[in-house]
Structure 1
Amino acid sequence: MSEAPPPKKMKQTDIRTLLGHPHPEGEIHVFQFRIGYKKHKVACTTSQTVLDALNENDAFKSHHNKHINKEMIIQRAKGKVPGAAVKTDFPCCLLENDEILDINFISNKGNISANQKVVEPSVKLSPISKYKAFYIRTRGKKMIRVMKNNELALKVDYVCVYALKGETLKSALQRDGRFSDEIFSSPCELMDIFKDASYELSLPVDSLSEHLFNLYVQWQKQTSFIPQSSAVNKYEKANLYAQWQKRKSFLSQSSAEEDEEAPADPPTGERHINEKQKKKRKEMRKTKKGTGSLTKRRMIDITWNLENSSILPLTKEILRAQCKHLFEKLKEPNNSELKKLFEVEYGKSMKNFCEVSIMKELTKFSDSVCVIVSNISAKGTGFLLFDKFVLTNAHVVKDLRSQEGKLLGNLQAVFNYEHVKSEVECLPFKEDLAAYCYEKDDENGLLDYALLELNIDEDVKYPELLSYYKQTPPPRSGGIYIVGHPNCETKKMENCFIIETENRLQAINNHISENPICPYVPSRCWPYLHENQITYDSCFFHGSSGSPVFDEQCSLIGVHTGGFHYEDNSGESRSVIEFCYSMQSIRKNILETARPDVKKVLQEFERKKVNICVKQEPQQEDVSMESDESNES
């Protein structure tokens, strides 16, 4: 046996190479883009533009081709203003490392950013020290039109503009191309949102990095009919007082109508009303108004706001009718339908709760989960099962298995990949498979697993998850937890619920009927689900095969394997139903087909586990008895 190479600590740049992100020459930069809910990594040089980097990704090009005549919105997740939209020629060097860009498409209203113009090489190749970036609100002060595309102004609050040092504000805005021509034909200035300062467009951008601005048209503030500062305060105070008087009158009138049938108060001179009369009058008022008094007052406020708003008359009538109907329903003392609605929604939210102790336990188990990597290509997920053996799906390594049953491609397990800057531990595998079964014929035992052996001499420091497997049939219902690397990205965990065997067909029918784009019919899904599989509805798709699945007691119950995958119209990954193979069936097959030395190690491991449980049993009984006594008291 050849000597095992020592465990290798991989740095941030190493993990990117392992996961199949080749880097061009120059300083390396990595960011992510998200279309819908799916994220993709992009590796580029800092001298590239965002569009250049995106065009190297096949998923982006495929999606972009579907919206070629639309304008692209690229929103940053970081920066001074998260959610600000950048243009397609935005330099990659101004993005933060591993920043996420959300990409959407809107109708093109003549904005030249939709059909991106070629950027001059001098701009593309400038170093980061030459750039400045600032933010402008898409809706300007005094209601001026800022953006050419009104839809962009409705979708985004701020746009992020970049400029070269020495360039003027006007030049930067004109080159950006998203701003309305009106702001260049009128004397405009930028008002700093956080400082009492204004900047003319002729000023250079050198000192304005990361500032937030409102666009302001100068001639509007000098219009003669607008009062001066002292007069403005008097005008506003008078206007507010008049509105308050109007509202007070409105409320008084409504209160008078409300109290028409209530007992009248006695004259001022009659102070001898006995306590019985006061109590009777109070009860009558309460019977008349009840909780509806407060409800009606709320409706009065809303109605007053509707009357004095600038909403169109037809919209006012619709809103008024809806408010009236809603408040009538709320005033009903025994509204069974409303009560049932709240009860059902509250019941659903209860299912999403998770005890802190379970989360702590799962966090400990997650250390055993790794990415399976071949050369520079990530294949899937795996986890340390026992001793030095890692369990994953057979289809993860199927293409790397030779006719002699040996592994090819320098296969490795990458542990601790929890964020991009993680210092991961990369451990190699032996060429010989410890156990393997990829059987699609139910008559021969439907299974999909591979047991791989680490090629190291020292003990592995991560938890052996077989210690948390109970030799009992898998649960038929309840919650489960999946820990893995979906899309072979950073480690994630998902909580979902088992779909019972008798409800599988109904769940499949429901998904297909609710998603017309789904290419499946029930007959293409239902017959391929078997007894040794646990079904659920998960978002763990490609790259997560081989992830461990735990039940509500944190017991290992299966290996996440797959589902019936398809893509919707937007290119997003969907699945009709997902499944895992039960740990019970996998363990049984390992004991039947594994190499003799592997069987011996497994049996020895389980014997030690049983001995540990037997030693702990008396102590557990004592704790149980104390608990019972405390409950009885």
Structure 2
Amino acid sequence: MADGHNTPADRHSHHFNVRFKDNGTEEYTIYCDQPRTVLEAIKSSKRYNEQNFTDENIVILLRKTDRECAVATHFPCSCLEDGALLIISSKPQKVEEIPKNSSETVHPRSRYSVFYIESQGGKNTKTKQILRNNAIKQFTYLCVYGEKGMTVEECLKRDGRFIDDLADFKLSDSKNHDRFTEHTQKVDNLHEKEFKICLPLNKNTQSTSDTQVLKVAKQRGTSVKTLLDKSDTEEVYEMLRQQFPNLKDLMESRFPGDSYEEAVNLRRENFGKIQKSFSEVHRVKKLLELGKSVCKVVVENVCEGTGFVLFDNLILTNAHLFKDCVEGENLQEGINVFALFNYDDPEPRRNCSCFTVKNTFIDFTDCLDYAVLELNPEGRGKGATRAPEELWSSASEW
């Protein structure tokens, strides 16, 4: 006869199944006897711990009978149906910003409202970045949850997969695109509904000039150097930023709030401590001068392309230049990359400036075909396998 006492296991007992994307059709059953996040529950699996995943890079696909959707790592296990199937994979770049309060109490299912947001945005989002990592656009829906009483904006900020500065957005009903829910509304009545994120017309995600990351890019059919010589600098920069809205939004999303300015200040401080590099004044002067020109990016013995100075010692170029030369976030061992400036000079062998490129990419995205490289500040030819003059001769033949 029952003694009338309920243990935690009595109050919370269910199971779900996990499949690892790189492991065929094998499924592992997770028996959950306490309220926790899905990631905390999955980590009880020995198979998961053999994967060596990074939490922020994980993608969890929830397969349901009527839809497939990606859930956050901090999704409450209590919101999973008994016997649900989760498919786990990992991306090379951050997918989710893990919230600081991810260890907060997980409540019973009745305390939550769970709704779905389409990964492809609605009105005025075609040229805007709304997700932290576009890799999850392969899934139709992102499953979002919130305790009843929370606003839509609070839920999306905590979710971690959306960019930090969505600002004045609204949700359009997927079944009636003319019906909207504002970001200030509570989520209590959104349970099991489907939406698209919509942004205001001509929304400017650039809050201040201090967070402008993309400074120099290529104007189609026009030399950046020529434009800078003939036009007002700020006007040209604005034209260039409009050319690459997705890249601009992506780069800004990596530096929420004032963290970009802090990162730039830290970078300046670190460079000042490097005795073997340029002095600060000489380096800034040199790079500002180089910033008015495009550069030739040479992947030694492979191919060449064009690059552009972003800021400091970072350059932007195409990702396809490094096809079959990349391992994770690094260049393969033995691959040398150089940046040649002033290569359009009538006497390139005498006046060309050659910089080596660091092994690790600052940013690399195949789908948008761009890569951000960091130049070694030591200058001409240091660490190169051949002299700059020989490199120029070889590059000009490709």
TM-score over 0.5 for the alignment? no
Give the alignment's TM-score, normalised by structure 1. 0.28
Larger radius of gyration: 1
Greater per-residue helix proportion: 1
Give the alignment's TM-score, normalised by structure 2. 0.44
